[in-house]
Amino acid sequence: MPTYSPDCPYEVERASMLHRWDRISFLHWPYDVDDVQRLLPYGLEVEPFDGKAWVGLVPFYMEVTPPRGPSLRSLLSFPETNVRTYVKGPEGDSGVWFFSLDASRLDAVTTARFTYRVPYFWSEMSIESNSRIVEYKSRRRWPGPRNARSRVQIEIGAELSARELGEFDHYLTARFTLFGTWGRSLLKARAAHPPWVLHRATALIYEDELIEAAGLPQPTGQPIVHWSPGTDVRVGFPKRLP
């Protein structure tokens, strides 16, 4: 089994954009590998952990700025929720495959669909938080299936020290490559950031239709949950794979 590390192995010297992933929660459930593999494009394989594929529901607050020039942070900030799994690419890279990404800004949705070829959806979304509780809500607007909803309420616990974090925690959270598709070709892009500051967390409420809308069976059992105050991210340009 590969060794998973919290440290990004890449540098993104020429970034297409700068992100801030803020107030982010990671909820994960185990799945049969075959249930996930059947939904992946040619060239990607499930990267299992302990014989299981893992599917994540990841809500957070996104801020976007250009790598140079005047700040657009106040213009490009919005809630987002993604449904994702962990894969190996044809060059051996570990990375993320997004089944869906819901965001509350239509311009961000259309831009990401065109440039990175990832399945963004326009949704009505909100985040409410205090020092102990954060709640994320979304309702999909476009494209379908319309009205797919998600509501997640997380109780934030103590920060996890480096000694308390193991390879499984890093497998679920420390992902620095994303994949998309362009016709029959794969795209990949790097997303470089410092190690996560992770907290223990508990899901008080999770009422979700986004995972099932992606074509997966409804998850069962309690999710494994992490929370982070966030990190700054340098996102590279997408590269078309042969």
Give the mean pLDDT of 207-228.
Answer: 96
Domain-embedded: residue 105: yes
**In the prediction, which pLDDT does 69 show?**
64
Confidence class for position 114, pLDDT limits 50, 70, 90: confident
Residue among 89, 7, 21, 4 nearest 234 (CA): 21
Give the mean pLDDT of 197-205.
Answer: 98
Residue 75: which CATH number?
2.40.400.10
Top-confidence residue, 117 or 15: 15
Global pTM value: 0.95
Domain-embedded: residue 7: no
Number of structural domains, the chain? 1
Q: Contact at 8 Å (CB) between 88 and 47?
A: yes
Domain-embedded: residue 179: yes
Residue among 83, 78, 74 nearest 107 (CA): 78
184 vs 97: CA distance, rounded Å: 16
Give the mean pLDDT of 64-68.
Answer: 84
Residue among 45, 43, 82 nearest 61 (CA): 82
146-191 residue pLDDT tens: 789 999 999 999 999 999 999 999 999 999 999 999 888 999 999 9
pLDDT at 242 over 90: no
Domain-embedded: residue 13: no
125-137 residue pLDDT tens: 999 999 999 999 9
Both tokens of residue 78? 């919005």
Domain that holds residue 219: 18-240
Give the mean pLDDT of 29-48.
Answer: 98
Is residue 51 packed enough to be buried (19+ CB in 10 Å), middle (13-18) or exposed (0-12)? Answer: exposed
Instruction: Specify the range with the lowest mean pLDDT, choosing from 15-19, 48-52, 225-229.
Output: 15-19
